[in-house]
Amino acid sequence: MAVNARGTIHRTLDDESEDSKQQLDNADKGIWKDWPNQAAFEGLEEHRGPLQLRVKGTIPPWAAGTLYRTGPGQATVEGTSRGTHYVSHWFDGFAHTHKFDIIASEDGDGPMTVVYSSRRQSDEYVAAVKKMGWRHSISFGQKADPCVGIFAKFMSLFVPRRLNNNVVVLPNFPGLPDRQPENIARGHRTGTSKVYLSTDNKYLQQVDPDSLEPLGFADQAGLHPDLKGPLSCAHAQRDPETGDWFNFNVALGVKPTYRVFRVNAATGTTDVLASISEPDLPPAYIHSFFLTENYVVLCVPSTHFAWSGLSIAWQNNLLEAIKPFDKARRCRWFVIDRRHARGVVARFSTPAAFFFHSVNAFEECVAGGAGGETRTYINLDHSMYDTSDVMFGLYYDVILNRENATEAYLDANRDQNLHSRHVRYRFEMPLSAQTSQEAASAVAEEVLSIPSPHSGELSTIHPNHAGRPYRYAYGACNRGLSTFMDSIVKTDLQTREASLWSGPRAHTPGEPVFVPRPGGTEEDDGVLLSVVLDGTAQASYLLCLDATTMEEMGRAEAEFPIAMSFHGFHAPAL
């Protein structure tokens, strides 16, 4: 392991045991050097701006454009009819969207300008909580208010649902009515004319790409009448060549149905590529899926909902509706043809596990089979957890160590793997249609496993390598120094070496977004943009890293904290 003078740490496999020991020692002793600052999660203000940030160092002019970010913001509601309402789980913080306009000088040689603005997206929801005194709509993991009785909980089933889309920003999603005012004056120009926000349900929220003003919600049933199930995937995926978008919709009931669909970017029409409904296939919490050149690959992990999903309505949240983790419940995978309308073309399984995020997937053709035929293999990369315990570690009490909640959480899960690892499954596609027996016995091989902190969560890659072979993945990771992310890691999937950027103590980075250098020929030729919270100063900054060296190039500093968000994207300047 080597550390340079600018905060970048270079690691090899020889350091793996050292990192693992450090994490386990910290966990066993209940000792952490830092907890994220509360300013990252509660009482966060809007800054509709635009506000010009102070730029230090260098941000290259070819990185000009707009960085959109969205995630949880406000975590308390003051002055409700029952006093202060506290959000329990990080995933349930009220939606807050951010925009960084990165502007090059007119001649391209002068200093860069960065202008920031943000907007809350759930004001109607907050108003309803303030009026009723508790959160009545289905959430991810909101703990029940002990002051709310069974009757009030039952009556919540009949209160109009409120939506809190706070996970992913989707640019230019086709097929939905545009609620945007016509002939509106536009500011910093990018190729993004429409912006939607998504979460793990069937609704998309449109926001104005300039002002971030919420414009209303659209239902997936507006894309296709069969997409009427309540659940969907937050991470819709886009074909980088055609612009088509892919996702799935889940209908609950005695026989749940997964409908995998494509929205055509050119026509706005929607095709259902496969409807998957089997007697022993339960509904599950699924946050992402996989897209290759010819296939959509859906993994149903071991996070099954009880009562065929009907438990969601009674528990009023997804987390408590999920059955306790059972290692006997294997992950089930479905390979769907997205080119020739053949539906499901292969099935296989892998050991019980859970994942939030797929990283990439690609096909590999190998000649020289036993009969001289060419075999196709599908490689599926994701940030995997061996159990689902990580979801319980993202309650605010645990993240912020309120009343020793961190120690209690670790004590309860000491024998569990609470850190992700970058896993690649490799599956050999059958040459002919599988029989039911072949489908039941087919398995994928785990050919790569790189544990945290040598790999990260909230991963990103060079966008031109989506659906193709690739070498580098970038993510946010935890070196065991806090209850949250403390570094940005670059993982070399060929050598399994890692380079990490870490700021000073109490600096917490978010998801890195890769911006490629125009004309670059190397996969890591670009920059990473990440929003970092300085917990000591209670202020945030936009960090620009050289993606090759993982050294800081520049930053744009705010004088206030910016919420720790989930996901975003960079829209290049026109």
Annotated binding site for Fe cation: 235, 287, 357, 567
How far is residue 70's CA from residue 511's CA, in Å, rounded to a whole number? 11
Helix (H) / strand (E) containing 130: helix 123-132
Q: Binding site: what residues are annotated?
A: 235, 287, 357, 567
How far is residue 93's CA from residue 166's CA, in Å, rounded to a whole number? 8
How far is residue 305's CA from residue 327's CA, in Å, rounded to a whole number? 15
CB 484 within 8 A of CB 36: yes
Among the listed residues 3, 53, 1, the one whose alpha carbon sits nearest the alpha carbon of residue 543: 53
What would the DSSP string read from start to end of 311-372?
HHHHHSBHHHHBPPP-TTS-EEEEEEESSS---EEEEEEE-S-EEEEEEEEEEEEE---TTS
CB 192 within 8 A of CB 199: no
How far is residue 371's CA from residue 348's CA, in Å, rounded to a whole number? 23
Residue 307 has phi, psi (to 5 degrees) of 55, 40
Residue 408 has phi, psi (to 5 degrees) of -65, -40
Tokens of 222: 């507006």
How far is residue 563's CA from residue 96's CA, in Å, rounded to a whole number? 8
Report angle CA 141, 142, 145 to the nearest 5 degrees. Answer: 145
Amino acid occupying residue 517: R
